[in-house]
Amino acid sequence: MLRAVAQAFNRGRHLLVEAGTGTGKSMAYLIPAALWSLQNNQRVVISTNTINLQDQLIHKDIPDLRRILGIDLRAVVLKGRANYLCPRRWESFRRRGPENADEMRVFGKVLNWLRYTTTGDRAEINLNSPAERQVWLRLSAEDEGCTADTCLKTSGGRCPFFRARQAALGAHLVVVNHALLLTDVALGHRVLPDYDYLIIDEAHHLEEATTNALAFHVTYYDLEKLLSALGGPKHGILGWLLTATQGVLTASTYGQLAAMVEGVTNHAFQVEQTARRFFQEVERFMREQREGEPLGTYAQQERILPATRRQPAWLQVEMAWEEVERCLNPLLEGLKQLGQVTLEVQEALSEADQELASALNGPYRRLVEFTTHMNSLVFEPREDQIYWAEVQGDGTLPSLHVAPLHIGSLMERYIWQEKAAVILTSATLTAAGEFDYLRNRLNAAEADELALGSPFDYETSALLYVVNDIPEPTDRNGHQRAVENALVRLCRATGGRALVLFTSYEQLRRTSTAIAPLLAREDILVYEQGEGASPHALLETFRSAERAVLLGTRAFWEGVDVPGEALSVLVIARLPFDVPSDPVVAARAETFDDPFYEYSLPEAILRFRQGFGRLIRTQSDRGVVVVLDRRVLTKKYGRLFLESLPPCTVKVGPLSEVVETTRRWLNL
């Protein structure tokens, strides 16, 4: 891998490298990247999906490399603007003081944090609720209108974002995350300094991370909050504007400004009213789509397709949106004018009011974004976007969503064509031994490829046991009973030490409720992924518990790293196919001639391989993977799952023998 990466850099080629667990992947790209950067005076950007990997690179691998090779290698982490505190906004907030409980909590946290932070990076503080994160956004460097020149004098070089960017400019290696990589260029934020050499680790996540970063969603409540922050003549940002300019403007100009504020307040009120009607109309439309049936356990998601827009019921939604737009246009115009006036008098404003223009600009930008997305959702869809509405069963109004259909074209435009050499790597890039799926998703037709196995001896360390006599998952109750039965027996035999991977939270809950009391009698604890603890905290607890079983869904199919005996059994309850009705999955599936074989299957195989990879983390690990979905045996596609795994010992047998076989394999 090291040689291949070095060659790709030397020859200016793009490369896809799959390297199994234990290869030492990060060193295999860090060494050539570091030497290339030092010798050619070229910056190399390294993108990861998880914070864990970022931390590992910056706190362990790169320092090791520096020490061992004796090189003066400068490496930094650079994040999106919204991660850094903006001292100017903070100062203005501090002078005005918090106005509500959320602001008060964030105020307290930041005040305390500022005593010791050297980075100004929000990862160092806990911002728990969405409301707190909203307050943070208003204090962050998110406003891309700022430049070092505009505020160097006020922030005195204390701006964490500009310091981080400055450090990145002088670094050999710049570590970023996938979300930043493409949004930075696609949305024109330009946070990253120029670079020609790029390494994308955990590359199987690039599409999902970019999709999430570019996706837009909005609820009526978001809009309500935004307009309430805007306020009116006596409160909020508009109230602040009038207080700040009193005494600065002549009486008559001030009078005009007050009238403008009055007008904007009225328009904002009308937008709020009409927007409520608009979201209510969407809700009515959704109800009509389910023919008045009450909502079940799951949220209802309706894609907005050309055919949807032709339905008579959609007409009401269109009319309601037209009403919103009628009020939005003068509101936007008014806000723009207020922004101009503020900029004109900025110099005369007090220190505490310097943030006013940027405070006004925030809601303006968000309203423009809202208008653009809603216009295309309702009337003028773009071919490269997916639109849908979603309603929960909790009585709240629906949310509206927009996401990119394909990120391949962005990759082509901003990455493949722009950069001299790009390396994509991960332990799982191939499905059924081929890179085709990834190439297709990322428009990576031209890249070279290299697939390296794992140095681990899976044949002696991992046993794959496929149960052949349980009902298929289509028989929901039968399959569920078999899963519960298998888990109880297995866990009793192994004293826990098991990770069970599910594809739905509902099945996880059902299983947990059924098995937890039975296992409790044997002093075995059942930990389940849920709304409370974060996956990270749950893993820590599982690692340190003596007799425990961990039940997880999505986040646990990968990223779980429990070496040693604490994890000796991995159970795959069901093959990890995506939910076909998910709007993004459904829209993407439609772009294939054979959606199942070309899209759903490779996605599921990639995740299956990720899941399997949780078991053996070191040379000395030993364990059993039990597959409780016999479609790997009965379906034509099943063998593709098995063939995608590293060569391990495979046994196919009845449920009744799984315990004994596991015992023998683990020498229990």
How far apart are the two ends of the chain, measured CA to CA in Å?
Answer: 38
Fill in the amino acid letter for 393. Answer: G
Cβ-closest residue to ligand SF4? Answer: 146
Least distance from ligand SF4 to the Cβ atom of residue 159, Å: 3
CB nearer ligand SF4, residue 140 or residue 553:
140
Residue whose CB is less far from ligand SF4, 365 or 481: 365
Q: How far is CA 147 from the centre of its chain?
A: 28
Residues contacting residue 140 through CB under 8 Å, at least 6 positions apart: 81, 82, 83, 84, 85, 86, 89, 122
Residues 540 and 551: their CA atoms lie apart, in Å, by: 14
User: To the nearest whole angstrom, how small is the minimum distance from the Cβ of residue 621 to ligand SF4?
Assistant: 46
Which of 431, 425, 424 minimizes the C-alpha distance to 609?
431
Compute the least distance from the CB of residue 338 to ligand SF4, in Å. 19
CB of 343 to ligand SF4, least distance (A): 14
- Asked if residues 408 and 442 have their Cβ atoms less than 8 Å apart, the reply is yes
Tell me how far apart the alpha carbons of residues 335 and 342 are, in angstroms, rounded to a whole number. 10
Which H or E run includes 316?
Answer: helix 312-345
Three-state DSSP at 493 gives helix
Q: Which is nearer to ligand SF4, 88 or 205 (CB)?
A: 88
Distance, in Å, from the CA atom of 555 to the CA atom of 458, rounded to the nearest integer, reads: 24
CB of 26 or CB of 140, closer to ligand SF4: 140
Which residue lies nearer to ligand SF4 by CB, 93 or 542?
93
- Given the complex with ligand SF4, which of 39 and 147 has the nearer CB atom? 147
Rounded to the nearest whole angstrom, what is the least distance from the CB of residue 336 to ligand SF4 in the complex? 20
Q: How far is the CB of 156 from ligand SF4 (least distance, A)?
A: 9
Q: Which residues contact 21 (CB under 8 A, 6 or more apart)?
A: 427, 454, 456, 613, 616, 617
Whole-Å CA distances, 607 to 26, 275, 415, 421, 613: 21, 40, 25, 27, 10
Output the smallest distance, CB 162 to ligand SF4, in A.
5
Query: Which H helix or E strand runs over 185?
Result: helix 178-186
Say whether 274 sits in a helix, a strand or coil. helix
Tokens 């207080």, residue? Answer: 243
CB of 90 to ligand SF4, least distance (A): 8
Residue closer to ligand SF4, measured from CB, 103 or 355:
355
496: Cα separation from own chain's centroid = 31
91/558 with CB nearer ligand SF4: 91
Order of strands, edge to edge, in the sheet holding 385-391?
216-219, 399-404, 385-391, 300-303
Q: Which residues bind ligand SF4 (CB under 6 A)?
A: 86-89, 141, 146, 148, 151, 155, 159, 161-162
